[in-house]
Amino acid sequence: MAKIPEQLGSLTLVRQIGTGRHCQIWEAVDKKTGGRVAVKAIVPAMAADPEQRQLLEHELKVAKSLDHPTVIKIDRLSEEGGVPHLVMELFPHPDLKKQIAAGVESLAPKLQRLVTETALALDHVHARGWVHRDFKPDNVLAAGDGQVKLIDLAIAAKAAGFLGRLLGAKNPAKGTPSYMSPEQIRGEPLDARSDIYAFGCVLFELIAGRPPYQAPNSNDLLNKHVSAAVPAVSAVNPNATTTVSDLLRRMLAKKPSDRPASMQEVLKQLRAIRLLERATLS
């Protein structure tokens, strides 16, 4: 398999820090500035695929419309040696998926900051008219003190307005099965409440160590999002408070109209409650 060249113009790739189906993420040194950056490069086997370049172009467009300390900044889209790549802010910390896998107990002391900053990131995305559509722990980088950066805006879409919801225009059902809202699964018009559902799935996982629904295959998993009862997070982790259990039940409601109306509302409630009975390591 062909490798991404170690040199992309002025960028020297020094360490691979992430990977996906079609892209790799590298830490790089920019010889022009001497600074360190992150590089999201299409793997050589897919470099000529126009759809992959369009995704990078779209991600750059979305990122350029955003400006918040909790959202990763993207500087430019370049192509060197036939490899299209994004050059972005480097935030050298593991994503929440890796941190959850290491044990949610270690996240307890910083959980309140983690979820508050992540909610602020989504609120900013929504305020600029976008729905992330692939919000999941893998797409949140988190430092040891709880500071976060939201990443991967490649499939973000404009939120459906009143007319779009009224007409019920269909959209391709893109996303990650463990975190997709029922309306996203059905390909219906989406607004901020779809990301609120995904945020509920992630909050559940941060407390319970697993997403709210599990199944042996994607079809069964998607069916659970559409029709299964909302599980109680306290049944998995008794340290969860009653108030966070109630909030999660509303965030994971099957109908968007039964969920909090905005991330602003979610933020207000998050700031008013405790997530855990004990927020320190025992």
Enumerate the domain spans of the chain.
Answer: 7-88, 96-272
Using the predicted structure, report yes or no on whether residue 170 has a pLDDT greater than 80: no
Report pLDDT digits (tens) over 128-143: 999 999 999 999 999 9
Q: Tell me, what's the pLDDT at 171? A: 61
Report pLDDT digits (tens) over 138-169: 999 999 999 999 999 999 999 986 445 444 55
Report pLDDT digits (tens) over 250-277: 999 999 999 999 999 999 999 999 999 9
DSSP single-letter state for residue 159:
P
- Over residues 95-117, mean pLDDT: 96
Cα(89)–Cα(236) distance, integer angstroms? 37
Which pLDDT band holds residue 279 (cuts at 50, 70, 90)?
Answer: confident
Residue range 96-272, CATH number: 1.10.510.10
User: Whole-prediction pTM value?
Assistant: 0.93
Backbone angles phi, psi at 58, to 5 degrees: -65, -40
The verdict on whether 258 is a catalytic residue reads no
Using the predicted structure, report yes or no on whether residue 39 has a pLDDT greater than 50: yes
Judge contact between 156 and 132, C-beta under 8 A: yes
Same-fold call for 7-88 versus 96-272? no
Q: Which of 134, 138, 152, 195 is catalytic?
A: 134
DSSP string, 185-250: HTT----HHHHHHHHHHHHHHHHHSS-S---SSHHHHHHHHHHSPPPPHHHH-TTB-HHHHHHHHH
Residue range 7-88, CATH number: 3.30.200.20
